[in-house]
Amino acid sequence: MKFAICQELFVDWDWEKQCNLIAEIGYKGIELAPFAFADRPSDISAEQRAAIRKTAEDRDLEIIGLHWLLAKTEGLHLTTNDTGVRKNTADYLIELGNLCADLGGDLMVFGSPFQRDIEEGMSAEQAYENAAEVFQNCLPLIAERGVRICMEPLTTKETNFINTCEDAMKLIDMVQADNFVLHQDVKAMLGAETESIPELIQKYDTKVGHFHVNDSNLLGPGMGETDYHPIFKALKESCYRGWISVEVFDYEPGAELIARDSFRYMKDVWESV
């Protein structure tokens, strides 16, 4: 199994220091938050992209893709009735797709809860139609760069649009693009689903393109109450071949401790099931 980590955890670290530690611990992949490098993808030059990629590759690390796609942006939204904003959002996702490919990645996780919330007075069906239009307008060009978008369900505490794997599959079926797939996140599944995580892994095993690990306490795997033995057992039985990527939201214990403890726990559990 290939383990990766989301790098915005290393808030004040320079890129080389991040890569050094991540590789030393044993991770093989890094997942980038675009805002950690620039305000917009267009602000990252071709030379800078090549340098970012080389720094990772020199340490036998792969930049697997991007997440937090619309974080810290303005004037972008997935479900809005404003056609201009939807067009700008599709164009921005194309920019991100180019950045992702230039860095060597092939996936982008669409979470961005605030930029997808259903506006007051809008029906859920209209929100789905608006979102489908955005993705239909950007996915073909993103596909040309070999990049997928992974749609992430989030809890109702975070957003009122797409809270379950079933919700995400409804949108995926509407869009009908080979490079639009399901993303599963442990924290989100713990907080939004009625079925168990192993059941959800098995149910959607042919649809999942990426998998985030964390816990309901917002820390990494093994740092909360969630037992990962049945989760990793289900991933093994489903023959999942993608990345398992650590994404945390509480940085208080410190980046190095979180990264080390999460990796050690995942490795032990994976080898035991």
Q: Which amino acid is at 127?
A: A
DSSP H or E run through 88: helix 83-102
Distance from C-alpha of 172 to C-alpha of 150, rounded to nearest angstrom = 9
For residue 182, list its beta bridge partners: 151, 208
Burial bucket for residue 265 (CB in 10 Å: 0-12, 13-18, 19+): middle
Q: Is the pLDDT of residue 172 over 90?
A: yes
Q: What tokens does 166 get?
A: 């079933």
Per-residue pLDDT at 1: 81
Domains, the chain = 3-272 (3.20.20.150)
Residue 123 in 3-state DSSP? Answer: coil
Q: What tokens does 178 get?
A: 């080979």
What pTM, to 2 d.p., does this model score? 0.96
pLDDT digit string, tens, across residues 46-75: 999 999 999 999 999 999 999 999 999 999
105 and 64 in contact (C-beta within 8 Å)?
yes
